[in-house]
Amino acid sequence: MSTNNSTVSAHSIISDFKEITKMRLSLSVVFSSMAGYLLGAIAVDAITLVLLAFGGYFMVGASNAFNQIIEKDIDALMDRTKNRPIPAGRMSVNHAFIIAIVFTVLGIIALYVINPKTAMYGAISIFLYTCVYTPLKTITPLAVFVGAIPGAIPFMLGWVAARNDFGIEPGTLFALQFFWQFPHFWAIGWFLYEDYKKAGISMLPTRERDKGTAVQIIMYTIWTMLVSIIPVFGFTGDLSLSIVAAIIVFALGMGMLYFGLQLFKKRTTKAARQLMLASVIYITLLQIVYVIDKFIG
C-alpha cells in the first residue's frame, strides 16, 4: 500500500512541477528560440543550442511560477486554473517561489554563457511578464499588448544567441511573433470569456465578444501576414526568404485569416477555439518553413 502511495505521490509531484512551470508552453518557447538560433547561426554549435534550450525553458518556467504565485487567488476563482498546485493546496507559495528563483538563476546563467545580450533579453522577458503583464491583467485589456512583448522575445532571442547582436533580422522576427500574439491571445480570451469574467479579467480589446474584437483580430492577422513575407524583398539583412517559401508562408497566413473571418461571421466559442488552434499551427509551420528555406536555399 505504501509503495502505491509513494508512486502516486511521485506522480503528483512531477505533474505539479510540470504545471507550475507550464511545461508544454515552455517547450513551445524553446522550439521558437531554437528556430531563431538556426536562422541566425552561421555554423550551428551544439553546445549553444543545448544552453539555449535549457536557458529558454528555465526562463519561461520561472515566469510561469512567479505568475501563479501572484495570481493564486485569481486562479482559485476560475474553473480552468482552480486545480493548479497553489490554489488547490498541493504546493505552498514558498515552494513555488524557490522553484521560480532557482529557474531564474539557472536560466540567466545558461543564457549568459551564450552571451550577455541573450541573458539580458531573457531577464527583460521575465520582468515584463511577471511585474508588468501579470498585474495589468485585472486592470486593462492593454495587458495583452504588454504580454505580447515577452511572448515575442524567444524567436528573436535565438538569433541574438547566434550572432551576439540585435539588428534588423531579430527585429523582424520579434515583430512577426509580436503581431501574431494578438489574434492568438484574443482567441483564447474569447473562448475563456466566462471563466476570465469570474476573476474580473478582460483580455478582449473591447472587453466584449463583439464585432469590434473580431475586426481587431482580423487586422492583426493581416499585419502578421505582411511582416511574415518582408524577408523576401531583401532588405532584412541576413534574414532572407525565397519566393517559394514566401508563397507558402503567405498561404499559411491565409489559412489563419480564414478562421479569423469565421470568428467575425459566427462569433462563437467554437470558432474562437478553431482560430486559436490555427494560430498555433501557423506559427509552428512558419518557423519550420523559415528554417528549411535557409538550409536548402
Q: What is the pLDDT of residues 250-291, one digit of tens each?
A: 999 999 999 999 999 999 999 999 999 999 999 999 999 999
Q: What is the pLDDT of residue 22?
A: 84
pLDDT tens-digit profile of 7-53?
Answer: 546 667 788 888 888 888 888 889 999 999 999 989 888 999 999 99
Amino acid at site 229: I
88 class by beta-carbon count within 10 Å (0-12 exposed, 13-18 middle, 19+ buried): middle
pLDDT at position 243 over 90: yes
Q: Are 198 and 77 in contact (CB under 8 A)?
A: yes
Q: How confident is the model at residue 1 (pLDDT cuts 50, 70, 90)?
A: very low
Question: Which residues have CB under 8 Å from 70's CB, separation 6+?
Answer: 130, 134, 135
Within 8 A by CB and 6+ apart from 31, the residues are 284, 287
**Mean per-residue pLDDT of the chain:** 90
